[in-house]
Amino acid sequence: MAEQRESSPRAGGSPNGPAAPRLTLHRCENSHSFFFPHVSCPLCGANLQPFDDPPDAEIVSRTIVRVSPTGSPFALGLARTASGAQTLCIIEGGSETDPGKDVVITKRDGLYYASPRPRAV
Amino acid sequence: MNRIKIKSSCLTPIGRRDEDLVALVLEALRGALLEADISRITDVYIASYAPTELCGLTNPLQRLGHAIQLEFPRLRATFRGIFKTGGDALFSALETIDRQAPDDRGDVVVVGAEKMTHLPPAQVAGLLSQRENPHDRAYGATLPALGALVTRSYMAEYGVPERALHEVAVKNHEHGSRNPKAHFQNTVTVEEVASSPLVCDPLRRLHCAPTSDGAAAVLLSPKDGAVWYRGWGKGTDVPLFQERRDISRFTATAEAAARALERANVVPGDVDLVEIHDAFTSFELINLEEMGFFPMGTTWKKLAEGGLRVNTALAVNTSGGMKAKGHPIGSTGVSASVEIHEQLTGRAGERQHRGARLGMIQSAGGVSNESYVFVIEAIS
């Protein structure tokens, strides 16, 4: 799985807020990027190498899962970083996390969460 | 010609059934093998998506194989499976037969079944999620949840209105109302669909196929039959849903259809009717477009004009589809063959599509992680 380095310099979020950790993703020589550390690229077969990516992303699609195995509704989405890597994510936020909106990706307990990108003051 | 034909077929009534999985399999086989020479059958392909999780069968191939042999004591076939979908089993059977020398070919049975309604729907969803990849499961990403992400992206990308999702359900229920074996034989209105509860927005309950019990079987023969498999193809997508470059597209279906159509040497315009994967109503639109019947994002207009119905230029899901006929997962790809067989032999009753000569089937696993397409033609 992709990792986050807590000590990396911030790339996204508010310029006045605390640093958001960068993501360690995986990319092949043809610039196909992934969160999941496959041995080889699912699209072209080339070897994948880890690289640091800012936690900034855009929501591609989202839904409210109203009938869930746990019984509690939650917002599920698909987010895409600037490098093109995509991940499922739990969405924290309302209309500010609609498709097309910018979010920050964080990782907690092995899952990715998308929250609204803080506005610059 | 070395054609692989459908000699006979059977679909059990679909819906809430009191019988267990084994009994449903035997019921479909009894219907399909009514007039068969059992000694000619060389292989039995069995499909069931989650017989262990849903029915507690720890060795389903052995359990079902034993029951089938007891029912048909003259059967000396090899049992193959358990395949997770009917489309998967049917594709594997056709590929295997096709590689055999014509003189070596015997009759082959493909049977698919699922027993689902004995458990509460929420429990079924939880048990089925054990078959999903662990990555999706960790997010609580059920099939309707992933289907909703696809649907929202598709609607946004192509400007497809929400009403289109409703109209697919209305059409398929109307077809299902003419199918005495369908799970749902009631018609529904656009307003009823639009006001049904949200499952995962924008998907509502009446956009989703139900959980159902049932089974289907086809007897494939190199000798006898009024229809034949003129082409077939399989397509696959990347292993993780999240890694698709465009989640509004089903590339596996496009790949499978291209292969099947090329093998059959026909084009979509030649086709009279299609049984297509409509686990969610949006999937019917996407799959039709990926198969080449309509440009991306435009099928809803044809539907709004009254198309895609029985006795229009292209009839889609005359059985009622998974939406109304029902969706016992392991049987669906096989039951689509049963429907096309009945249509091409003029035995579809009130839902008979006039002049049906060439039919297609599209069946998928998961959110179109893999897709199977078959072309079936009536033999003049």
Mutate to test the interface with A, among B157, B200, B246, B249 (most CBs of A within 10 A): B200
Phi, psi of B175 (to 5 degrees): -65, -40
Is residue A17 very low, low, confident or very high in pLDDT (cuts 50, 70, 90)? Answer: low
Residue of B nearest to A109 (CA): B138
Residue B131, pLDDT score: 76
Q: Are B322 and B332 in contact (CB under 8 A)?
A: yes
Going by the DSSP 8-state scheme, the letter that residue B206 receives in this structure is G
pLDDT value, residue A19: 60
pLDDT at position B125, please? 79
What is the nearest CA distance from B287 to chain A, expressed in angstroms?
A: 19
Yes or no, beta carbons of A65 and B142 under 8 Å apart: yes
Among A43, A61, A71, whose Cβ lies nearest the Cβ of B149? A61
Are B125 and A78 within 8 A, CB to CB?
no
CB–CB contact B239 A42 (8 Å) = yes
Cross-chain residue pair A63–B245, CB shorter than 8 Å:
no
CB contact under 8 A, B140 and A74: yes
Nearest CA in chain B to A77: B149
Q: The whole model's pTM is what? A: 0.93
Domains of chain B, earliest start first: 5-120+212-221 (3.40.47.10)
DSSP string, chain A: --EEETTSPP-SS-TTSPPPPEEEEEEETT--EESS--SB-TTT--BEEEEEE-SEEEEEEEEEE-S-TTSS-EEEEEEEETTS-EEEEEE-SSGGGSTT-EEEEEEETTEEEEEEPPPP-
ipTM of the complex: 0.89
What does DSSP assign to residue B357? -
Asked if B149 and A35 come within 8 Å (Cβ–Cβ), the reply is no
Strand pairing of B5-11 and B227-236? antiparallel
What is the pLDDT, as a whole number, of residue B104? 87
A11 pLDDT more than 60: no
Position A20 scores a pLDDT of 65
Query: Is A69 in contact with B122 (Cβ distance < 8 A)?
Result: yes
**Taken in order B85, B87, B90, B94, is the CA torsion positive or negative?**
negative
> Mean pLDDT across chain A, nearest whole number?
83
Nearest chain B alpha carbon to A113: B139
Taking only residues 301 to 360 of chain B, the set having a beta carbon closer than 8 angstroms to any beta carbon of chain A reads: none
What pLDDT is recorded for position A9?
Answer: 35
What 8-state DSSP symbol labels residue B106? Answer: -
SS3 (DSSP) at B112: strand
Q: Mean pLDDT lowest for which of A41-45, A76-80, B268-272?
A: A41-45
Cα–Cα distance, B322 to B182 (Å, whole number): 9
* Cα(A40)–Cα(A1) distance, integer angstroms: 14
Name the closest residue on chain A to residue B202, using Cα atoms. Answer: A63
- Say yes or no for a CB contact (<8 Å) between A69 and B144: no
Any chain A CB within 8 A of the CB of B197? yes
Amino acid B137: pLDDT: 83
Size of interface A-B (CB pairs under 8 A): 92
Question: How far is the alpha carbon of B45 from chain A, nearest alpha carbon, in Å?
Answer: 31
Q: Is B229 within 8 Å of chain A by CB?
A: no
Amino acid at B240: L
Please name the residues in contact with B170: beta carbons below 8 A apart, sequence gap of 6 or more: B187, B188, B189, B190, B193
CA dist B325 → A28, B193, B197, B279, B340 (Å):
45, 17, 21, 11, 14
Residue B169 near residue B187 (C-beta atoms within 8 A): no
Which residues have a Cβ under 8 Å from the Cβ of B55 and sit 6 or more positions away? Answer: B20, B21, B115
Asked if the C-beta of B130 comes within 8 angstroms of chain A's C-beta atoms, the answer is no
Task: Indicate if the alpha-carbon torsion angle A35, A39, A45, A50 is positive or negative.
Answer: positive
Nearest to B201 among A63, A70, A86 (CB): A63
Please list the pLDDT of chain B residue by residue as tens digits (380 residues).
689 999 999 999 999 999 999 999 999 999 999 988 898 999 999 999 999 999 999 999 999 999 999 999 999 999 999 999 999 999 999 999 999 998 889 999 999 999 999 998 878 877 887 777 888 888 988 889 999 999 999 999 999 999 999 999 999 999 999 999 999 999 999 999 999 999 999 999 999 999 999 999 999 999 999 999 999 999 999 989 999 999 999 999 999 999 999 999 999 999 999 999 999 999 999 999 999 999 999 999 999 999 999 999 999 999 999 999 999 999 989 999 999 999 999 999 999 999 999 999 999 988 999 999 999 999 98
Interface test with A, best of B131, B198, B236, B242 (most A CBs within 10 A): B242
For chain A, domains (ranges, CATH) are 3-116 (2.40.50.840)
Sheet holding B273-275, edge to edge: B78-83, B41-47, B107-114, B214-221, B5-11, B227-236, B370-378, B358-365, B273-275, B315-316
Residue B203: which H helix or E strand, with range? strand B203-204
For residue B145, give how far its alpha carbon lies from the nearest alpha carbon of chain A (Å).
Answer: 6
Please report residues of A whose CB lies closer than 8 A to that of B139. 76, 88-90, 111
The verdict on a CB contact (< 8 Å) between B200 and A69 is: no
